[in-house]
Structure 1
């Protein structure tokens, strides 16, 4: 088990937590045992925080301030695609002015700011990572949205304890609740804090129902996605659906958006193929995932870590991101994985 962090930087990152992140996994999936998964689930907060302490700045550099995937129309820019994905969720949830909305696992607040401006709703972003909360507040103040979008530190497995029951008109989660030790647990907490009749919208990370845990290649893919993305345990679409229903949600709409026949696939920016860039500016985003882009990034990280500009262990986390990129592309190509299982569900008016 990874050691508990005891050295915190001024920005909230904890060096031993980052340095201990990879210790939660066996490098060889064939050596993974049930006990390894149990330890990760029991220590989900350290797993997730260790990952994001090391990966947040890399996400912002290599991706954007919106830590999620999206569908693409031909010729659509990367930034426009991310925003449209957020607008699509907001529209399906019918978010509007006057609503109090919780963003569960808000990252550095990119989607919260975009959805707030799109819907005029008031957004509360929840995050258990000090470093990300600090950055979210900074970016939101710079955007002049601090009166409409606020951020708090908290555990999404203890929402009712922090906010009280029946306290939000709507809740959404964008590629965040996959980090929970159980979906029943986090969905149950979301159910509690929603007002009767309130709506919950989620883009969930799932192995598709085509994934077969008895297939060694499928199991290896699952292992790589978990290791590369700070996820204690990947689960299937079927289990997500079952968990929502088991805690009492009424599902109004569900769809795996990754299964749509898009000409430009959701994972194309991870492939590092410059010929696939949709706009001139997107060349830079795609290049960062090419072999030369990865080499430059790795070299820079190694230097910055050596001179103390980055916490110890950042390079190791960066290496897991390479594993993640390859695994996510493979998962998308084989349709064994989706980052956008969309579900719109509602808390019954009467339980």
Structure 2
């Protein structure tokens, strides 16, 4: 039986995660993969998992410092619960790499995501023969790119059982099972010895940490002296005004729709990296477009143009998103998918709209790059 936190609330243990998802981690991506996966979920557990996530946000004093502190204290459970709900949605609309990228003229989304990953790997000077850690690896999309692009051996760290299962399966499908491994673990308490890796990186993952310095310290600990640390961090920019109500609301939407205990300023992220003992080499916001024809990173969130070349491109459009929401409601009415699937769809849209508004207002970036070295002594 599922282990409850209280009442119908569900703790995201390995047992509960396996009961919730069943065999759905073995499904291949396809036009009907989201609906197919949702029909096979444990409907009661799915509903209660959604209810559990909302508990972190539905307090009448959701804006208070007390509630924020509670989210930080329970950030691991909150984010694990979040990914138990959204992983299938992410893969369906975005693919196997759960992050953003600027789009160069003529690029597909998949091409831009791969380029964005390869830029980080090149910045970290990752090479063949290195042992590299991917912190918060998702279903392993960037890790597989790293193996292909650099020839390094990549260890992916993730605290979500469902995503770990998928990452291992995809690695085997791609013939990379001997070039990578995926480890279940908390990035605040990494299950690795000191000085274990030649390089460590994180792509839009450390933003889930309750405080940045804790996860950066762990990355410093497991990195060999002289090794490179490279991240894309979600941050507020210098234009964010903490007293501006409209801006505050945008940031709250981003935090709620993406399971973030708190978004921090880019300058604070850099300071935390320095405090851990790293020597900063690069710190820059990659969000601004500088080349004519480039598209902003948020253009694929609810784009006006309808794309029929792929199911992901279709559901990312405003029209396609509305169609998908209709079918989720319809299948929920028929009790073929969990009723909470429509709620998950709604809060993901809140987060997506918040990201787009934050990007357009230039108060939020999901791609603040920091590259740093661990001193030799």
TM-score (norm 1): 0.91
Change (3 A) 1:257 1:264: same
Specify the alignment match of 2:36 in structure 1: none
Q: Which one of 97, 108, 117 corresponds to residue 77 of structure 1?
A: 108
Q: How does 1:1-351 map to 2 (within 5 A)?
A: 3-5=9-11, 7=16, 8-9=19-20, 10=22, 15=46, 16-26=48-58, 31-159=62-190, 162-262=191-291, 263-274=294-305, 281=309, 284-303=311-330, 313-350=340-377
Supply the distance in 1 between the matched residues of 2:371 and 2:346 (Cα, whole angstroms). 35
Larger displacement relative to structure 2 (168-177 or 229-238):
229-238
Q: CA offset at residue 300 of structure 1?
A: 3.2
Q: CA offset at residue 304 of structure 1?
A: 5.1
Structure 2: any 5+ residue segments left out of the alignment? 26-40
Larger displacement relative to structure 2 (260-269 or 12-21):
12-21
Structure 1: any 5+ residue segments left out of the alignment? none
Tell me the matched-pair count. Answer: 343
Report if the CA contact (8 A) 2:137-2:143 is conserved.
yes
TM-score (norm 2): 0.85
Report if the CA contact (8 A) 1:225-1:327 is conserved.
yes
CA RMSD of aligned residues (A): 2.2
Report if the CA contact (8 A) 1:273-1:287 is conserved.
no
* CA displacement, residues 20-66 of structure 1 (integer Å, 9 cap, x when unaligned): 112211488x8521111111111111111111111111011111110
Larger displacement relative to structure 2 (260-269 or 183-192):
260-269
Q: CA offset at residue 293 of structure 1?
A: 1.6
